Amino acid sequence: MSQKTHEILNDAKSRALIDDETYQNWYQESIRDPEKFWGEHGKRIHWFKPYTKVKNTSFTGDVAIKWFEDGLTNVSYNCIDRHLEKRGDQVAILWEGDNPYDDKKITYRELYEQVCRLANVMKANGVKKGDRVTIYMPMIPEAAYAMLACTRIGAVHSIVFGGFSPDALAGRITDCESTFVITADEGLRGGKKIPLKHNTDLAIKIAERNGVSVKNVLVVQRTAGKVEWFAERDIWYHEATAAAEPECKPEEMNAEDPLFILYTSGSTGKPKGVLHTTGGYLVYASMTHEYVFDYHEGDIYWCTADVGWVTGHSYIVYGPLANGATTLMFEGVPNYPSPSRFWDVVDKHKVNIFYTAPTAIRALMGAGDHHVRKSSRNSLRTLGSVGEPINPEAWEWYYNVVGEQKCPIVDTWWQTETGGILITPLPGATRLKPGSATRPFFGVQPQLVDGDGNVLEGTAEGNLCIIDSWPGQMRTVYGDHERFIQTYFSTYKGKYFTGDGCRRDEDGYYWITGRVDDVINVSGHRMGTAEVESALVSHDAVSEAAVVGYPHDVKGQGIYCYVTLMEGQKGDDALRKALVAHVRNEIGPIASPDKIQFSPGLPKTRSGKIMRRILRKIAEDEFSALGDTSTLADPGVVDDLISNRQNKK
Ligand code: PRX
């Protein structure tokens, strides 16, 4: 470990909430007596009726996970009402628009009024406790109002990232049978308009064909662009909220009542509706937000994620607002109008805590240091990273150039399923190693196992499992509990399997090595290769497709597609373009193939299983180490694949 890492440790120590000794003590206690530990920390949120039971969880049999199960609370009450007395005039949401001249400050009192009005609009249109509401929004304050208004009345939100296509949106509307959609006329990112209302109209038609009929669409006017209007269904947000009452009593929710559904990709089938519930999730999101970022009252906190992903849920909205923080919400992109945008915003709003993804760090690193050096960044104290492994070069750049060796970097490992951060350094308490997510958060028990499920002790590399529950854990796959059990608890019986590979070093530090299943991580966005494959084969020219990830300098992983065409089809650049457009249409721009290789055959075993290991190697241009190919039905296919590879180094 370099000298530098000690220095930041000392700098951060002067204000750190937790030192190493406290970490060790709390961690031990959290494992020894979770009831007591979480019984105490559960009180960090307000309960209308306090819980008497803390933990009731089982990873075997039917897998039932319950935390604080007899307590009553409300998320919007915790994120807004309880702050009003002390910080009604404090800024809750600091909004920075796509255009650098566009910003807004929303105080807690204003947030209260906006959320109450919207909650009343939803109620007046028949939305009730337990109903699912789909949110398909740009990064504007109304997205947070929509989330909080749902929680206020006990509706379950399902946010769909604004970059997803009408098809993907329709699938998500259909799966959770949501009859109320909140969207905007258009989104605005990097100066480009995104036709959200138009996409919603198309998605609703598709959902209708699948038997789910959306009753209302509430539309925020963002750009005032032209939209089609269906008077019996569509409602203008500004008109309806202006006419609604500014007070709405929060619904008393059981700790285990559903809070939200968020769809995420797995190695098989369509995206799963990850279901999180109320009490445990909020306790965990707020506690991790405070300690992982070393959040102090008055800090300006900025997480650059989108509310369409879990990071936006837990660390733009719920965690920070539950802690009474000022949370910055950014509509734009890192390189618009220039690659210094992030740092300009940091200076403009005096940001203290900054949380972003390795893909953004790598892209900005590539744009040159001068874009960073123009800014002062004096206000920064903690830097965070999330979404994919951060390579040490990017870590060093983030630490040296952005943080000027003054800010600890918290490399936070977690997942949509985990609700909050599970493995991470704590500023001032944890010595840092570039590229390592370091140590488990309180209450988290990681375990490494080999392919046969044998537990690996000490220094080892294997598959990462978590052996006991934490309050922020997902409770089920919406509408399919069996799939929940199968996906997460059956590979290694009685353990939550993360799908990630991981190494533990001599200091007990964890190093995430990436997914070990057929999930790839493209710019921090998680994607099932099966989803891209099924999008490809839905094109008329395609007979078969196999998709793998390959190392990509900026995106982390790129999407490499092997495509076998129908008889008579010609594999040329025009078809490549058409296939890229087709996948973007089916899923969204984040799934755009980077490389398409037309291949007359795919390497299959005699039983017809595609040998992805070989395809991965060829995509990585590492085919000298292909391993045993003798079990292939037709070993000759491999030579053709190699000579036509699209990623020659
Ligand atoms: O492979 C891990 C990677 O992202 C996956 C989870 O993706 P998602 O559910 O979309 O959530 C992303 C934001 C929490 C994980 O299984 N991942 C996430 N954070 C890290 C990471 N890999 C390495 N280091 C991280 N800090």
CA angle 149/153/157 to nearest 5° reads 60
- DSSP state, residue 318: I
What's the 397 CA to ligand 1 centre distance in angstroms? 21
Alpha-carbon distance of 458 to 479, in angstroms, equals 39
CA angle 616/367/515 to nearest 5° reads 25
Alpha-carbon distance of 474 to 479, in angstroms, equals 13
User: Residue 116's pLDDT band (boundaries 50, 70, 90)?
Assistant: very high
Q: What is the largest CA-CA distance in the chain?
A: 74
Residue positions in the annotated binding site for Mg(2+)?
537, 539, 542
Residue that is written with structure tokens 């296939």 in the block: 579
pLDDT in tens, 302-350: 999 999 999 999 999 999 999 999 999 999 999 999 999 999 999 999 9
Q: What is the pTM of this model?
A: 0.96
Is residue 595 over pLDDT 50?
A: yes
What's the 275 CA to ligand 1 centre distance in angstroms? 18
Q: Name the β-bridge partners of 57.
A: 65
- Residues 6 or more apart whose Cβ sits within 8 Å of residue 52: 70
Q: Which amino acid does the sequence have at 167?
A: D
Q: Tell me phi and psi for residue 171, to 5 degrees.
A: -60, -40
Alpha-carbon distance of 30 to 47, in angstroms, equals 22
pLDDT at residue 649 in the model: 78
Give the mean pLDDT of 255-274: 94
- Residues 6 or more apart whose Cβ sits within 8 Å of residue 157: 132, 133, 134, 135, 146, 147, 150, 151, 260, 261
Burial of 13 (0-12, 13-18, 19+ CB in 10 A): middle
Distances, alpha carbon 542 to alpha carbons 124, 226, 570, 578, 586, in Å:
48, 36, 11, 11, 15
Q: Are 106 and 143 in contact (CB under 8 A)?
A: no
Share the mean pLDDT of the chain.
95
Helix (H) or strand (E) holding 486: helix 481-489
What's the 413 CA to ligand 1 centre distance in angstroms? 6
User: Residue 2's pLDDT band (boundaries 50, 70, 90)?
Assistant: very low
Is residue 232 over pLDDT 90?
A: yes
**Least reliable range by pLDDT among 244-248, 479-483, 625-629:** 625-629
Residue 512 beta carbon below 6 angstroms from any ligand 1 atom? yes
Residue 564 beta carbon below 6 angstroms from any ligand 1 atom? no
For residue 526, give the ligand 1 atom closest to its CA: 10
Residue 300 beta carbon below 6 angstroms from any ligand 1 atom? no
Of residues 8 and 289, more confidently modeled: 289
Closest residue by Cα to atom 12, ligand 1, is 387
Task: 46-49: list long-range contacts, CB under 8 Å, 24+ apart.
Answer: 46/73, 46/77, 46/78, 46/82, 47/71, 47/72, 47/73, 47/279, 48/72, 48/73, 48/74, 48/77, 48/252, 49/252
pLDDT in tens, 355-406: 999 999 999 999 999 999 999 999 999 999 999 999 999 999 999 999 999 9
Is residue 208 over pLDDT 90?
A: yes
Q: Are 571 and 507 in contact (CB under 8 A)?
A: no
Which among 301, 256, 270, 266 is positioned nearest to 92, based on CA atoms?
Answer: 301
Give the Cβ contact number of residue 124 at 10 Å: 13
Which among 408, 511, 428, 410 is positioned nearest to 4, based on CA atoms?
Answer: 408
What domains does the chain contain, in order, with CATH numbers? 10-500 (3.40.50.12780), 513-644 (3.30.300.30)
Residue 388 beta carbon below 6 angstroms from any ligand 1 atom? yes
User: Residue 10's pLDDT band (boundaries 50, 70, 90)?
Assistant: low
- Residues 6 or more apart whose Cβ sits within 8 Å of residue 28: none
pLDDT in tens, 146-181: 999 999 999 999 999 999 999 999 999 999 999 999
The answer, yes or no, to whether the previous bond of 334 is cis (omega within 30 of 0) is no
Residue 499 beta carbon below 6 angstroms from any ligand 1 atom? yes
Is residue 605 over pLDDT 90?
A: no
Closest residue by Cα to atom 18, ligand 1, is 387
Residue 409 beta carbon below 6 angstroms from any ligand 1 atom? no
pLDDT in tens, 450-462: 999 999 999 999 9
pLDDT at residue 415 in the model: 98
Residue 413 beta carbon below 6 angstroms from any ligand 1 atom? yes
Q: Tell me phi and psi for residue 344, to 5 degrees.
A: -60, -45
User: Residue 5's pLDDT band (boundaries 50, 70, 90)?
Assistant: low
Residue 558 beta carbon below 6 angstroms from any ligand 1 atom? no
Closest residue by Cα to atom 21, ligand 1, is 388
Q: Name the β-bridge partners of 455.
A: 449
Is residue 291 over pLDDT 50?
A: yes
Is residue 7 over pLDDT 80?
A: no
Helix (H) or strand (E) holding 3: helix 3-13
pLDDT at residue 166 in the model: 97
Alpha-carbon distance of 127 to 405, in angstroms, equals 50
pLDDT at residue 636 in the model: 85
Is residue 444 over pLDDT 50?
A: yes
Alpha-carbon distance of 466 to 445, in angstroms, equals 5
pLDDT at residue 3 in the model: 42
Strand, coil or helix: 162: coil
What's the 388 CA to ligand 1 centre distance in angstroms? 5
Q: Name the β-bridge partners of 548.
A: 560
Q: Which two structure tokens, joined as six digits, stand for 587?
A: 């899923």
Of the chain, the percentage scoring pLDDT greater than 70 comes to 98
Q: Which two structure tokens, joined as six digits, stand for 419?
A: 């609700």
pLDDT in tens, 35-86: 999 999 999 999 999 999 999 999 999 999 999 999 999 999 999 999 999 9
Q: Which two structure tokens, joined as six digits, stand for 111?
A: 């947030």
ipTM passes above 0.95: yes
pLDDT at residue 9 in the model: 62
pLDDT in tens, 486-500: 999 999 999 999 999
